[in-house]
């Protein structure tokens, strides 16, 4: 079968392909604070709120600025410099962490990539994360050179919801947004995809829920597996009624968002 309507799928990494946040990035941020003798620790709830700020260095800066506003003791601290130094250390810590099995792929992610490969659909990555850890993580979990393009925060410094990572990935792939889909997990990611005019399917995780992800064209609570489908949280184009994100459901999504079938709900 040809790939009418679907030529490329562009994946987000954090929270989408890989469960990185709660037991990965968060732990690395906390270790960077501890090594510097800072008392700050981000618990799971606070980290969930801080995830609204995309990009690790921006996230630290946002947190430190909030503290400085609330606490006179921070007066005189160069927040930009401190955030940059903490993030440099956090990146080194996390780059070590991604080599261990404690950072797993999300169930169903590899199945979908295999199916897309077999169908001749190009797969790419658009993430706000740092190159240092993104590439070794993808290589370990999915095999070297599995993605036709990997755009990271280094190439697209304007973090999501800015669309530049998606626009760059589309350009690198030579594919029009009308025949591609973004797979995301967060509101920032959904906005970035929309601004790049990409249809977007969302696989929510423990940190991202239907009410925080905004206007996606399809929302599931995971990729779904044969015999273990995901919950379908929103499917106005009736692209994925079985709850298993596969080539056919993504092809239906692209065709229907492109105007062949109006949304039914
Ligand atoms: C994920 C992020 C990332 C990581 C931290 O956003 O915001 O910044 O949490 O990685 P998305 P770095 O999934 O939308 O790309 O510390 O390397 O920035
Ligand atoms: Mg994400």
The predicted-structure confidence for 19-61, as pLDDT tens digits, reads as follows 999 999 999 999 999 999 999 999 999 999 999 999 999 999 9
Name the 3-class secondary structure at 150. Answer: strand
Around Cβ 158, how many Cβ atoms within 10 Å?
14
Q: What is the distance between the terminal CA atoms of the chain, rounded to a whole angstrom?
A: 30
Name the 3-class secondary structure at 72. Answer: helix
Compute φ and ψ for 140, nearest 5 degrees: -65, -45
pTM exceeds 0.75 for this model: yes
Across residues 183-200, what is the average pLDDT?
96
- The C-alpha angle 180, 204, 83, rounded to 5 degrees, equals 95
Contact between 134 and 13 (Cβ < 8 Å): yes
Q: How far is the CA of 208 from the centre of ligand 2 (A)?
A: 9
Query: Whole-angstrom Cα distance, residue 74 to residue 70?
Result: 9
Q: What pLDDT shows up at residue 70?
A: 74
- Closest atom of ligand 1 to 160 CA is 14
Across residues 185-205, what is the average pLDDT?
96
According to DSSP, the β-strands at 232-234 and 218-220 are: antiparallel
DSSP state of 205: B
Q: How far is the CA of 222 from the centre of ligand 1 (A)?
A: 19
- Is residue 14 part of the annotated active site? The answer reads yes
The predicted-structure confidence for 211-235, as pLDDT tens digits, reads as follows 788 889 999 999 999 999 999 999 9
79-97 vs 56-70: helix axis angle to the nearest 10? 140
């Amino acid at each position: 079968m040809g790939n009418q309507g679907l030529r490329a799928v562009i994946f987000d990494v954090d929270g989408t392909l890989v469960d990185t946040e709660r037991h990965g990035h968060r732990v690395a941020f906390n270790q960077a604070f501890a090594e510097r003798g800072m008392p700050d620790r981000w618990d799971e709830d606070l980290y969930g709120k801080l995830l609204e700020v995309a990009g690790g260095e921006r996230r630290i800066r946002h947190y430190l600025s909030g503290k400085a506003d609330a606490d006179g003791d921070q007066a005189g601290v160069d927040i930009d410099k401190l955030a940059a130094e903490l993030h440099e250390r956090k990146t080194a810590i996390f780059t070590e962490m991604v080599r261990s099995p404690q950072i797993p792929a999300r169930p169903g992610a590899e199945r979908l990539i295999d199916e897309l490969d077999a169908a001749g659909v190009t797969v790419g990555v658009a993430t706000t994360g740092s190159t240092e850890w993104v590439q070794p993580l993808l290589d370990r979990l999915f095999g070297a050179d599995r993605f036709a393009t990997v755009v990271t925060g280094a190439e697209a410094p304007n973090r999501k919801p800015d669309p530049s990572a998606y626009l760059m990935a589309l350009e690198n792939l030579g594919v029009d947004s009308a025949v591609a889909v973004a797979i995301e997990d967060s509101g920032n990611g959904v906005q970035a995809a929309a601004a790049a005019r990409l249809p977007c399917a969302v696989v929510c995780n423990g940190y991202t829920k239907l009410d925080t992800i905004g206007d996606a064209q399809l929302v599931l609570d995971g990729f779904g597996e044969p015999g273990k489908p995901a919950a379908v949280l929103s499917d106005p184009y009736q692209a994925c009624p079985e709850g298993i994100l596969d080539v056919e459901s993504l092809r239906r999504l692209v065709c229907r968002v492109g105007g062949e079938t109006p949304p039914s709900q």
